[in-house]
Amino acid sequence: MSVAVNDLSAARETLSRVFGFPAFRGVQETVVGRVLAGQSTLAVMPTGAGKSLTYQLPAVMLEGTCVVVSPLIALMHDQLRSATANGIRAATLTSADTDRGQTIERFRAGALDLLYIAPERASQPHFRELLESAPLALFAIDEAHCVSEWGHDFRPDYRLLRPLLDSFPSVPRLALTATADAHTRADILDQLGIPSDGLVIAGFDRPNIRYSITPRDNPLRQITRLIEGQPGPGIVYAPTRAGVEKLADQLGATGRTVLPYHAGLAPEVRAANQAAFVASEDMIMVATVAFGMGIDKPDVRFVAHAALPKSIESYYQETGRAGRDGDPAVAMMLWGAEDFARARARLGEMDETRLSGERARLDMLASLVETPRCRRAILLRHFGENPPETCGNCDNCLKPPAVTNVTELARKLLSAVYRTGQAFGFGHVEKVLKGASDERVMQRGHDQLSVFGIVDDEEANLLRPVSRALQARGALVQNEHGGLMLGGEARAILKGEAEVDLIVPKTTEKAPRRRRGG
Ligand code: ADP
Ligand code: ZN
């Protein structure tokens, strides 16, 4: 490799001439330096940190083509557009492209800086032959966590990459991801054959984002209140298409422009809604998680989750779309026991290889939503950092919640679930504990149980939040009919080996404001 190429001042010159940026950001310089020196690297950089530049810039400087593996055609086309706009010679090679013959010719002739491909191409024998016939500068593997079963988005096709990469030992590899806990990182290094000293991690903290996580009691009112305090553009994530449609409809009452986005809409509607959002200064996009990938809108002022996200990684990535311009932004999550019930039910359908990773992921989410302590600290610790105990910019740091020990009540609830036969929903168990003279309770003989009527009025008010907390941590699980059963964690609580703390519900927030004089 020539000296000029190794020289970071040449890299800075290219940075300003081709990309129009005055300086590298964060770890970009380290990553680019390593790639130019031919060293394989795994770069873990949060969304918005500028990952694409770390392979696009070397691709421009180095002789030969940088082959980029990317999991989504839509993502590739976004990248292609922005690279081409910078005058970079780039192409995609996908089943959706009609000019494949021409692209292959340019690739062979060394006339491409970037070639984007999907991972499944890696397993095709004639693709290897094609690579052998072209000058290669670098392999970039985008969304590299897809290679790991520990990752939150495992794609079996990514496993096919290793043999292909190994047959070009002189071509360096640059793996990129925004989301990888320590376990997943080690796995990516291993799966892609990158030495462990090739790991470069950017800081994950997004200090301008204010995190707030609240049990969902009236999502419409809770989200409306958020919107009223935030005049700028925002995204509201809902878990299903139907949920998106309904919420978009209801939020129209705020008087703001609200549009839906989900995979069930016609492509042209989706594209139009997305374009409207990107251009807007006050619009609200109600969307499934299909929305947001590859969207470059720096002034998003809030991201709201109407339900529990899939994992801490997804939460971080989705909330990370807020406040990329560095100005204050809000991330609000609403969660309910049924979110955890659904997620834990899905665990039951999972095969062994994925189960332990998924369960650990869900437990991490539970501790994030349940913690009376700093949310940011939990997030950053999850990404391998060593953050201070408090951040001053999350709900819990701004207003430390009152915590009460509810271990005794939790035990009563778990016993009642057990003694009624682990088949009844919360409502029934609650009646038994409160000693309600209910027909169904009598019929079943549940008024004869030792747990009948052992909860007083004050405790009764806490039963639902306790049930929610127990479901979050897996001590209570729901069967497919909504019946409660004891889960893995229940034993430790019943035996007095684990405590249950509860954030005292902020009941004052539930009361709707009354109009004066009305
Ligand atoms: P990621 O893939 O990490 O989410 P992108 O590669 O899409 O991030 O980059 C995010 C934004 O940051 C883009 O608008 C990009 O043009 C911009 N960007 C990247 N590097 C720099 C830099 N060195 N200086 C200023 N802006 C940059
Ligand atoms: Zn905090």
Model confidence pLDDT, tens digit, residues 428-461: 999 999 999 899 999 999 999 999 999 999 999 9
Q: Which two tokens stand for residue 179?
A: 């989301």
Instruction: Assign 516 a pLDDT band (cuts: 50, 70, 90).
Output: very low
pTM: 0.68
* Ligand number nearest to the C-alpha of 85: 1
The ligand 1 atom nearest the CA atom of 49: 3
d(CA 234, CA 318): 12
Query: From the CA of 296, how far away is ligand 1's center (Å)?
Result: 9
Q: How far apart are the first and last CA of the chain?
A: 79
Model confidence pLDDT, tens digit, residues 382-399: 877 778 889 999 999 999
d(CA 304, CA 320): 11
Q: Name the residue at shortest CA distance from atom 6 of ligand 1.
A: 50
Average pLDDT over residues 287-301: 88
Question: Tell me, what DSSP letter sits at residue 17?
Answer: I
Instruction: Assign 505 a pLDDT band (cuts: 50, 70, 90).
Output: low
- Helix ranges, 15-160 (H): 28-36, 51-61, 73-85, 100-108, 125-132
Query: From the CA of 374, how far away is ligand 2's center (Å)?
Result: 4
Query: From the CA of 222, how far away is ligand 2's center (Å)?
Result: 21
Better-predicted residue by pLDDT, 259 or 7: 259
CB of residue 46 inside a 6 A radius of ligand 1: no
Q: Which two tokens stand for residue 482?
A: 């909504």
Predicted confidence at residue 2, as pLDDT, reads 43
Choose among 336, 339, 226, 324: nearest CA to 278.
324
Neighbours of 442 (CB within 10 A): 12
Average pLDDT over residues 300-326: 93
Predicted confidence at residue 210, as pLDDT, reads 98
* Ligand number nearest to the C-alpha of 389: 2
3-class DSSP assignment, residue 143: coil
d(CA 477, CA 344): 7
Predicted confidence at residue 125, as pLDDT, reads 85
Predicted confidence at residue 482, as pLDDT, reads 78
Instruction: Assign 511 a pLDDT band (cuts: 50, 70, 90).
Output: very low
Q: Please answer whether residues 323 and 208 qualify as being in contact, where contact means their C-beta atoms are separated by less than 8 angstroms.
A: yes
Average pLDDT over residues 131-153: 92
H or E segment at 366? helix 352-370
CB of residue 383 inside a 6 A radius of ligand 1: no
d(CA 76, CA 103): 15
State the DSSP string of 169-197.
Answer: TTS-EEEEES---HHHHHHHHHHHT--GG
Mutation to probe ligand 1, out of 15, 21, 84, 201 (largest number of atoms < 8 A from CB): 21
CB of residue 24 inside a 6 A radius of ligand 1: yes
Model confidence pLDDT, tens digit, residues 184-195: 899 999 999 999
Better-predicted residue by pLDDT, 106 or 46: 106
d(CA 75, CA 429): 49
Maximum alpha-carbon separation in the chain: 87
d(CA 19, CA 10): 13
Q: Please answer whether residues 237 and 306 qualify as being in contact, where contact means their C-beta atoms are separated by less than 8 angstroms.
A: yes
User: If you compute the radius of gyration of the chain from its CA atoms, what whole number of angstroms results?
Assistant: 26
Q: Which residues pair with 190 in a beta bridge?
A: none
Q: Please answer whether residues 406 and 466 qualify as being in contact, where contact means their C-beta atoms are separated by less than 8 angstroms.
A: yes
d(CA 2, CA 10): 11
What is the per-residue burial (b if ≥16 Cβ within 10 Å, else e) of 263-277?
A: eebeeeebeebbeeb
State the DSSP string of 370-408.
Answer: H-SS-HHHHHHHHTT----S--SSBHHHHSPPPEEE-HH
d(CA 368, CA 196): 29
Model confidence pLDDT, tens digit, residues 479-500: 777 789 998 889 999 999 999 9
- For helices 337-348 and 352-370, what crossing angle results, to 10°? 170
Amino acid, single-letter form, for residue 498 = A
d(CA 437, CA 439): 7
Average pLDDT over residues 6-30: 88
- pLDDT for residue 517 is more than 70: no
Predicted confidence at residue 6, as pLDDT, reads 54
Predicted confidence at residue 358, as pLDDT, reads 82
Neighbours of 406 (CB within 10 A): 22
Neighbours of 215 (CB within 10 A): 18
